[in-house]
């Protein structure tokens, strides 16, 4: 055998053994000529975290898989009206996903299952059944968006209607899970989407987890992670301890929850592209100035992906209090998508205000609690 080929074969064997031994996964994505990586994006979820792959530079992923199966979503977008995506589950070990071009422009590409290795198509684990179940609600949402996208940002009623239609999709997913808890796609949807919405209370999420999640999945790391996320929601909603955090602000100074005991701490999650967040900033500034000489700390966590946009917004709005950017661990631990979010933590570390479970659009309740706590 050619010495170079022998060396490569041994490396592949050792890589495979390493993957199996460490209970991790190696995923290779192949674009078969003439298919190009242009206009493709790839997102991989390992059961706890999401990873964006830059397909122009990175066609492999190697890491620990925390669920029985992870999910890869491959998106092709040529224009606002041409969007084609594929979803593939992958188990532990070495997986190869082979993508080939299609002569039909409406399809553009497909997954070549014959030349792929160690993958399970999304439909095979219940995806087709779920998609069919939610399709009526999803079609309404897509239709409304395409008809009214030019008004989004200028008409609040359009945004509210779009959110309402999105809620209908989420409720349909919850109904599907109730009826089909044995399907893996049901667990996956609970783990990656449902828990981050407002449609199930913490107590309902706990009941869902206890009765709908198979025991075999509860014993995985992602199952434990999901249980911990639900417990965090329960703790926050019942005025128990807020999750610990240990990060640094934009000036490189440590921001550690344990060091803030003895102060009231207001946590804000925001982004520069979020209009309600920016509308909230003048009130945040008033609060910060009012309690500047009190045992009080305001900390804003930006979930922006664009650091320049974040810094420009901070400067433009004179946000001269503690700013954290680039660390989304705490935001992810909260398991709730919509922003802005506000949490007030008392001097012992307990959550005494949570904007995600109270209707306080003018922040009157927040100001009342602050005044009562700090005597101003």
pLDDT of residue 231: 93
Among the listed ranges 127-131, 158-162, 258-262, 365-369, which one has the minimum average pLDDT value? 158-162
pLDDT of residue 149: 81
Per-residue pLDDT at 126 exceeds 50:
yes
Instruction: State mean pLDDT over 112-125.
Output: 97
Is 57 or 235 the better-scoring residue by pLDDT? 235
Considering only CA atoms, which of 209, 169, 184 is closest in space to residue 70? 184
- Name the range with the highest mean pLDDT among 98-107, 117-126, 323-332: 117-126
What's the rounded Cα separation, in Å, for the pair 94 and 333?
Answer: 29
* Predicted structure pTM score: 0.82
pLDDT of residue 80: 63
The answer to whether the CB of 88 falls within 8 A of the CB of 72 is yes
Q: Where are the beta strands (DSSP E) in the chain?
A: 24-31, 40-45, 50-53, 60-64, 70-79, 82-90, 93-101, 109-111, 120-121, 246-248, 254-256, 264-270, 296-302, 322-325, 341-345, 351-354
Question: How sure is the predictor about 11, in pLDDT bands with cuts at 50, 70 and 90?
Answer: very low
- Token output for 4: 């170079």
Q: What is the mean pLDDT of the chain?
A: 89
pLDDT of residue 10: 38
- Give the C-alpha distances (Å, rounded to integers) separating 134 from 141, 171, 179, 242, 361: 11, 9, 13, 35, 31
pLDDT of residue 45: 96
pLDDT of residue 3: 46
Per-residue pLDDT at 344 exceeds 90:
yes
Per-residue pLDDT at 336 exceeds 90:
no
Is 344 or 197 the better-scoring residue by pLDDT? 344
pLDDT of residue 81: 64
Question: How sure is the predictor about 22, in pLDDT bands with cuts at 50, 70 and 90?
Answer: low
User: pLDDT tens across 68-107, in order?
Assistant: 999 999 999 887 667 899 999 999 999 999 999 999 888 8
Scanning the structure block, which residue is given the tokens 């994006």?
Answer: 41
Which domains does the chain carry? Answer: 20-122 (2.60.40), 127-237 (no CATH), 246-374 (3.40.30.10)
Question: How sure is the predictor about 342, in pLDDT bands with cuts at 50, 70 and 90?
Answer: very high
Per-residue pLDDT at 376 exceeds 90:
no
Tell me what percent of the residues of the chain surpass a pLDDT of 70.
93
Among the listed ranges 68-82, 302-316, 318-332, which one has the minimum average pLDDT value? 68-82
Question: How sure is the predictor about 197, in pLDDT bands with cuts at 50, 70 and 90?
Answer: confident
- Give the C-alpha distances (Å, rounded to integers) separating 130 from 69, 125, 137, 240, 287: 17, 10, 12, 36, 46
Per-residue pLDDT at 216 exceeds 50:
yes
Among the listed ranges 76-80, 241-245, 261-265, 287-291, which one has the minimum average pLDDT value? 76-80
What's the rounded Cα separation, in Å, for the pair 136 and 159?
Answer: 20
pLDDT of residue 256: 96
pLDDT of residue 78: 82
What's the rounded Cα separation, in Å, for the pair 91 and 364?
Answer: 50
SS3 146: helix
pLDDT of residue 19: 41
User: pLDDT tens across 34-56, in order?
Assistant: 998 988 999 999 999 889 998 88
The answer to whether the CB of 90 falls within 8 A of the CB of 119 is yes
pLDDT of residue 83: 84
pLDDT of residue 357: 85
The answer to whether the CB of 63 falls within 8 A of the CB of 25 is yes
pLDDT of residue 5: 42
């Amino acid at each position: 055998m050619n010495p170079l080929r022998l060396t490569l074969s041994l490396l592949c064997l050792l890589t495979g053994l390493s993957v199996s031994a460490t209970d991790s996964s190696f995923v290779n994505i192949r674009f078969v000529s003439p298919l190009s990586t242009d206009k493709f994006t790839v997102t991989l979820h390992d059961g706890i975290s999401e990873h964006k792959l830059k397909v122009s530079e990175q066609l492999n992923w190697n890491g620990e898989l925390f669920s029985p199966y992870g999910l890869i979503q491959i998106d092709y977008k040529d224009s606002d009206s041409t969007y084609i995506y594929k979803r593939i589950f992958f188990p532990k070990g070495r997986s190869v996903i082979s993508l080939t071009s299609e002569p039909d422009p409406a399809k553009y590409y497909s997954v070549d299952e014959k030349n792929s290795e160690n993958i399970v198509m999304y439909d095979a684990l219940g995806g087709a059944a779920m998609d069919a179940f939610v399709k009526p609600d999803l079609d309404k949402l897509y239709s409304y968006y395409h008809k009214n996208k030019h008004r989004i940002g200028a008409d609040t009623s359009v945004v509210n209607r779009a959110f309402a239609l999105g809620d209908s999709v989420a409720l349909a997913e919850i109904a599907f899970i109730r009826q089909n808890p044995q399907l893996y796609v049901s667990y996956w949807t609970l783990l990656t989407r449902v828990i981050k919405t407002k449609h199930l209370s913490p107590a309902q999420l706990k009941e869902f987890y206890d009765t709908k999640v198979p025991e075999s999945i509860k014993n995985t790391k992602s199952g434990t992670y999901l249980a911990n996320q639900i417990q965090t929601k329960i703790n926050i909603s019942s005025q128990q301890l807020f999750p610990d955090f240990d990060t640094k602000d934009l000036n490189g100074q440590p921001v550690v929850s344990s060091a803030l005991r003895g102060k009231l701490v207001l946590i804000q999650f925001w982004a520069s592209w979020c209009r309600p967040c920016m509308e909230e900033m003048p009130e945040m500034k008033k609060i910060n100035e009012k309690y500047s000489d009190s045992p009080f700390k305001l900390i804003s966590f930006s979930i922006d992906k664009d650091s320049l946009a974040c810094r420009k917004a901070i400067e433009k709005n004179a946000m001269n209090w503690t700013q954290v950017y680039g660390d989304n661990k705490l935001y992810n631990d909260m398991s709730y998508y919509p922003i802005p979010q506000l949490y007030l933590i008392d001097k012992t570390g307990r959550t005494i205000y949570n904007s995600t479970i109270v209707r306080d659009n003018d922040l009157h309740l927040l100001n009342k609690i602050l005044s009562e706590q700090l005597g101003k």
